[in-house]
Amino acid sequence: MKKIFLGVILSCVMLFAAMDFNKASKQELMSIKGIGQKKAQSIIDYRKSNKINSVEDLEKIKGFGKKLVNKIKNSTKS
């Protein structure tokens, strides 16, 4: 039940605020369509030594192409 509630809350937050890729937890990243466990971990690893200033910066991470970045960009707009 807690997981369902957390998922609903997270979904609502995502509808009203853009994702901060520098601070988002792995679970928050995985809630974005197109980002699974492996890609979420790639973002976390990347941001340890790089700042993510925009969604387009995700293209610098292996496995993130323009098509996926555009999908993420559209799903995280506020």
- Closest by CA to 77, choosing from 9, 18, 31, 23, is 18
pLDDT at 73 over 90: no
Please report which confidence band the pLDDT of residue 15 belongs to, taking 50, 70 and 90 as the band edges. very low
- Full domain range(s) for residue 56: 2-75
20/25 Cα distance (integer angstroms): 10
pLDDT tens for each residue of 32-53: 989 999 999 999 999 999 999 9
pLDDT tens for each residue of 16-36: 356 789 999 999 999 998 999
Give the CATH number for residue 45: 1.10.150.280
Say what the alpha-carbon torsion angle 55, 14, 33, 28 is, to the nearest 10 degrees: 90
What is the model's pLDDT at position 72? 87
Provide the whole-model pTM: 0.74
Total number of domains in the chain: 1
74/32 Cα distance (integer angstroms): 10
